[in-house]
Amino acid sequence: MYDVDLIDHMDSINQLLARYGVKFGIYKNNMFHEQLFPFDAIPRVITKAEFDVLEKGLIQRVDALNLFLKDIYGEKKIVKDKVVPEEFIFISKGYLPECERICPPKGIYSHISGIDLVQAKDHSWFILEDNLRIPSGASYPMIARELCRRAAPATFRKNSVVDNRNYAMMLRETMDYVNTGGISVILTPGRYNAAYFEHSYLAERTGSVLAVSSDLFVENNCLYYKDYREQKQRVGVVYRRISDEYLDPLTFLEESLIGVPGIMDAYRAGNVAIVNAPGNGVADDKGIYYFVPKMIRYYLNEEPILKNAPTYLPFYEEDRKYVLEHLDTLVIKDVAEAGGYGVVFGSNLTKEQLSEFKKRIETESRRFIAQEVIDFLDLDIMDEGVPVPRKADLRAFVLSGETTRVWASGLTRFSRNPDSFVVNSSQGGGFKDTWVLSR
């Protein structure tokens, strides 16, 4: 859907995004680099009928994943019933034995789930990844839509686009639902974190306190915030934007300088909710992704509404044989990597590299998954004033509180490289607004 007003204002919108600090940061060679996340004014448009199916499928998937996390850190029935091999649980980088037998407030583990999807050229949707640890990116379409409304108000009067400005309210309601009694805090590692803009923006929009670790302390298994007047306030919920391993130096990495000593004791005692729960990484391990359709059948007794991308697990002999025979046509993903790293297209490898990769797959079969290459639907972007097709994905945001809800928007990321399927911001991609139509 092209709108001349929006396209005419694209440069000024990007200038405002830069002025407001809408950037992301990456570390390369131990150096912090901050750069703009380019915005494209041609929106992705999702019809109401299409979104209705996505909404049902995403709610189903996230509900099953939350049940899986509760089970894995509790009775482990899914392992005992041999639906998921224990090798995929206990050697997962995301599994944290320190979280065993901890049930978070209201039994919710993944309060904010970022589910990455792609649309094939036949318009069917495939889920590529589940992000249940610290999914980022909601702030970008939020502020982009706000600027687009200012730049071209007539565009939104003449198109039936669902208002996406309710994300902050949805997030606040989710946090309030699990709050154990106290203020709401967004815990940031600080100014030099890759997503610092988002931390500060969401804190402002939700009315939460933006805090660094030195603002927080634990006393008698309760978490407190100390303000500039040295007065303390009880904290009831922490939306933490710090990786599990750095969250509490008394429980995880003792050298962490960005965590809060003792926060896990307060959490274990049920005195504070942590959004998202520590230990969620076991559920978004790329190896576990293979089993999510089985989880839906196991926990919900339902058939999956949304499909995984066709995936092979070299851990299984039959799959390993197929992968080794078809490696040159598959995409291989290292289960320990994220952000577009560790993704290898077999078609790009030389004969020597293919031979070497086959050896690695045979000796480290748990480390990799293989997927058929989905030919994404191309979306037009503006490139020097001309629309050109580029690969794009969609990160949908699913919030779990009193109910599970899907935000009627999302982060559409695209590759600026015409020959690349990798759309991550860390790999040089840009983003679009995502319009969900109301009728």
pLDDT at 233 over 90: yes
Say if CB 166 and CB 138 are below 8 A apart.
Answer: no
Alpha carbon separation from 183 to 63, 123, 221, 332, 338 (Å, rounded): 27, 44, 16, 44, 32
205 in Cβ contact with 168 (< 8 Å): yes
Angle, to 10 degrees, between the axis of helix 317-326 and the axis of helix 351-363?
170
Structure tokens at 426: 């860390």
Q: How confident is the model at residue 214 (pLDDT cuts 50, 70, 90)?
A: very high
pLDDT at 427 over 90: no
Mean pLDDT of 136-159: 93
Count CB neighbours of 29 within 10 A.
5
pLDDT tens digit sequence for 350-375: 999 999 999 999 999 989 999 998 88
Query: pLDDT higher for 43 or 428?
Result: 43
| 379-414 pLDDT, tens digit each | 999 988 899 999 999 999 999 999 999 999 999 999
Q: What is the pLDDT of residue 418?
A: 73
Residue 195 has which token pair? Answer: 């997503």
Over residues 318-341, the pLDDT tens digits come to 999 999 999 999 999 998 776 667
Instruction: Return d(Cα 236, Cα 209) in angstroms, integer.
Output: 12
Res. 426: pLDDT tops 60: no
Give the percent of the chain with pLDDT over 70: 94
pLDDT grade, residue 191 (50/70/90)? confident
Q: In this model, does residue 24 exceed pLDDT 80?
A: no
| Short-list 222, 209, 218, 216, CA closest to 181 | 222
Residues 49-99 have pLDDT tens digits of 999 999 999 999 999 999 999 999 999 999 999 999 998 999 899 999 999
DSSP H or E run through 142? helix 139-151
Asked whether residue 20 carries a pLDDT value surpassing 90, the answer given is no
Q: Quote the CA–CA distance of 163 and 157 in Å, as a whole number.
A: 11
**Pseudo-torsion of CA 284, 285, 286, 288, nearest 10°?**
-90
Looking at every residue in the chain, the average pLDDT score rounds to 92
What pLDDT sits at residue 218? 98
DSSP state of 299: I
Who contacts 41 (Cβ-Cβ below 8 Å, separation ≥6)?
3, 6, 7, 9, 10, 13, 148, 382
Count other C-beta atoms under 10 Å from residue 174's C-beta: 24
Name the phi and psi angles at 210, rounded to 5. Answer: -90, 120
pLDDT digits (tens, 9 = 90+) for 248-266: 999 999 999 999 999 999 9
- DSSP β-ladder status, 232-240 and 183-187: parallel
Residue 375 confidence (pLDDT): 82
Confidence bin at 225 (pLDDT 50/70/90): very high
Which has more confidence, 229 or 438? 438
Question: 108: how many CB neighbours lie within 10 A of its CB?
Answer: 22
The pTM of the full predicted model, rounded to 2 decimals, is 0.94
Buried b (16+ CB within 10 A) or exposed e, 306-337: bebbebbbbbeeebbeebbeebeebbbbbbee
Report how far residue 213's alpha carbon sits from residue 203's, in angstroms, rounded to the nearest whole number: 15
Counting residues of the chain whose pLDDT is more than 90, the rounded percentage is 80
